[in-house]
Amino acid sequence: MILCTESVTQSLIQILNYYQLTVVSVENDAPIPGSYWGESEAGLIDNQLYIRPDTPLHSALHEACHFICMDPHRRDVLDTDAGGDFDEENAVCYLQILLSDHISTTHRQQMCADMDDWGYTFRLGSAQAWFESDAADAKSWLLRHQIIDHNDQITWQKRQ
C-alpha cells in the first residue's frame, strides 16, 4: 500500500495546488484533524487536507477528490464529513484513480489494488474491473461538471 511519504506528499502538494487545496502534514501518531474514518485516514476541514506519513495515498486522494467534486456551498462549510450522494461518490472514486497517475510513485493499477485492499466494494469485484468496464456513470458525472474531458484527461478544475 502506498503511504504519504515525503515524496508522495510533495506530489500531492503540487497536484492539489491546482484546486486550492492545501496539504497539511500532521506529526506521527498525532490525531488527524477532520478524519472521518479516524486512525491514519486523511482528514478534510475547509480547504485543508490533513495527512500523516502513515496515511494511505488512496485515502488522501479520496478525500481530495471529495473536495474537488463537491459543490461550492458544501466546500464552504466543509468539516470532516464530505457528504455527497451515490453518483458523486462514484465520481470521487473514478477521479482518484485518474489522479493517481500524476503521483510520482504510483499508477492507477496500484491505486485500484490499494482501494481493493482497504475494502472499497464494486459490483464487478474490484476497483480496476469497475473502472475499466462499469464506470460510465462516474465518467459522465465528471464530464458534466467539467472535471475531466472526453479523453479522461483532468481539466484541473473543481466543481462549480
pLDDT of residue 123: 77
pLDDT of residue 121: 80
Q: Residue 25 in 3-state DSSP?
A: strand
pLDDT in tens, 2-22: 999 999 999 999 999 999 999
pLDDT of residue 31: 97
Distances from the Cα of 44 to the Cα of 123, 139, 150, angstroms: 28, 24, 29
pLDDT of residue 105: 84
pLDDT of residue 15: 97
Q: How far is the C-alpha of 90 from the C-alpha of 69, rounded, in Å?
A: 10
Please compute, for residue 127, the number of CA atoms within 13 A of its CA located in the half-sphere on the CB side: 23
Backbone angles phi, psi at 51, to 5 degrees: -140, 160
Backbone angles phi, psi at 70, to 5 degrees: -75, 155
- Integer Rg of the chain from CA: 14
Q: Residue 132 in 3-state DSSP?
A: helix
pLDDT of residue 45: 98
* pTM as predicted: 0.96
Positions in the chain whose pLDDT score sits under 50: none
DSSP E strand stretches across 28-140 = 43-45, 48-51
Query: How far from the centroid of its chain's Cα atoms is residue 10's Cα?
Result: 16
pLDDT of residue 101: 95
